[in-house]
Chains A and B, each alone.
Chain A
Amino acid sequence: MNGETAALTADPFNLIITGVGGQGNVLASRIVADVMAQLGCFVTIGETFGASQRGGSVMSHLRISSRSSYSPQIPRGRAHMVVALEPTEAIRVLSAYGNPETRVICNTRPIHSMGVICGEQSYPSQAEMRGWIQELSRTAWFIDTTEAAVSLGNPIFGNIMAVGALAAAGVLPLSRDRFETAIRQKMPESKVSVNLAAFDLGRKMISSQK
Chain B
Amino acid sequence: MLINGRKGQQVLMMGNEAIARGALEAGVNVVAGYPGTPSSEITQTLARVAPKRNLYVEWSVNEKVALEVAAAASFAGLRSMCVMKQVGVNVAADFLLHLALYGTRGGMVLVSCEDPGALSSTNEGESRLYAQMMEFPLLEPGDFQEALDMTRWAFELSESIRNVVMIRSVTRMSHASGNVTLGELPERTARAYYDFKGPLLGDMAGPVATLPGTVDFMHRRQQEKLKKLEGLYDASPFNTYTGPEGPELLVITSSACHLYCREAIELLEVSGRVGLLKLGTTWPLPPRWLESHLTAAEKVLVVEEVLGCMENTIKAFAMERIDRIGPTAFFGKADGAVPSTNELNPDRVMAAMAGILQITPPGLAPEYAARAAEIAKTGAPVRALTLCPGCPHRASFWSIHQAMAMDDREGFVCGDIGCYTLAAAGTGFHALKTIHAMGSGAGLASGFGKLAAFGFHQPVMAVCGDSTFFHAVMPALVNAVHHRANITLVILDNSGTAMTGFQPHPGIGVDAMGGTAPALDIPDICRSMGAKVSLCDPFDIPKTRKTLLAQVEDTDGVKVVVMRQPCALSPQRKHKKGFRMSIDPERCLGASCGCNRLCTRVFKCPGLTWDRENDSARIDEVICAGCGVCASICPSGAIQAKEDA
Contact = CB atoms under 8 A, between A and B. Distances in A.
A56 interface: yes
Q: From B10, B11, B378, name the one whose CB has the most chain A CB atoms within 10 angstroms.
A: B378
Interface string A17-61: 000100000000010011001000011111111111111110000
B263 interface: yes
Among A72, A78, A89, chain B packs the most CB atoms within 10 A around the CB of: A72
A128 B379 contact: yes
Give the interface size class of chain B. 35 or more
B171 interface: yes
Contacts of B176: 44-47, 72
A153 interface: no
Given A42-B179, A114-B427, A114-B604, A136 B372 contact: yes
Contact of A116 (B178, B371, B375, B381): B381
B386 interface: yes
B119 A136 contact: no
Contacts of A43: 12, 177-179
Q: Interface residues of A toward B: which range? A: 35 or more
A113 B375 contact: no
Contacts of B427: 114
A71 B38 contact: no
Contacts of B380: 88-89, 91-92, 95
Given A50-B499, A132-B375, A71 B381 contact: no
Interface in B175-219: 175-179
A171 B154 CA distance: 42
B3 interface: no
A70 B120 CA distance: 23
B597 A115 contact: no
Contacts of A54: 385-388, 419
A34 B597 CA distance: 47
Contacts of B177: 30, 33, 43-45
Interface in B132-173: 143-144, 171-173
A113 B262 contact: no
Interface string A112-128: 11111111011110001
A88 B345 contact: no
Contact of B499 (A51, A121, A132): A51
Given A37-B179, A76-B364, A117 B610 contact: yes
Interface centre among A52, A53, A116 (most CB of B within 10 A): A52
A73 B364 contact: no
B499 A71 contact: no
A153 to B, nearest CB: 12
A92 B365 CA distance: 17
A3 to B, nearest CB: 19
Contact of B368 (A98, A114, A121, A155): A98
Contacts of A88: 379-381
B368 A99 contact: yes
A170 interface: no
B249 interface: no
A71 B601 contact: no
B384 interface: yes
Contact of A92 (B376, B387, B622): B376
A121 B176 CA distance: 33
Contacts of B388: 54-55
* Chain A CB within 10 A, most for which of B259, B372, B384: B372
A17 to B, nearest CB: 13
B12 A37 contact: yes
A115 B12 contact: no
A30 B177 CA distance: 9
A28 to B, nearest CB: 13
A50 B600 contact: no
Contacts of B369: 77, 95
A112 to B, nearest CB: 6
Nearest to A74: B346
B578 interface: no
A14 to B, nearest CB: 11
Contacts of A188: none
A73 B376 contact: no
Contacts of A115: 381-384
Contact of A48 (B119, B262, B364): B119
A94 B372 contact: yes
A127 B144 CA distance: 43
A13 B567 CA distance: 39
A9 interface: no
Contacts of B610: 117-119
Given A46-B176, A115-B382, A135 B371 contact: yes
B345 A50 contact: no
A71 B303 CA distance: 15
Contacts of B37: 49-52
Contacts of A76: 347, 364
A57 B383 CA distance: 6
Contacts of B382: 113, 115, 121
Nearest to A122: B381
Given A95-B380, A114-B606, A73 B346 contact: yes
B170 to A, nearest CB: 10
A33 B604 contact: no
Contact of A123 (B381, B426, B597): B381
7 contacts: A52-B119, A53-B120, A55-B385, A71-B263, A88-B381, A132-B379, A155-B622
Interface of A: 20, 30, 33-34, 37, 42-57, 69-78, 88-89, 91-92, 94-95, 98-100, 111-119, 121-124, 128-129, 132, 135-136, 146, 150, 155
Given A69-B259, A98-B372, 6 more contacts: A44-B176, A46-B176, A54-B388, A71-B256, A75-B347, A99-B364
Interface of B: 10-12, 37-38, 119-120, 143-144, 171-173, 175-179, 256, 259-260, 262-263, 267, 345-347, 350, 364-365, 368-369, 371-373, 375-376, 378-388, 419, 426-427, 498-500, 597, 600-602, 604, 606, 608-610, 622-623
Closest 5 CB pairs of A and B: A77-B364, A72-B176, A95-B376, A71-B259, A50-B37
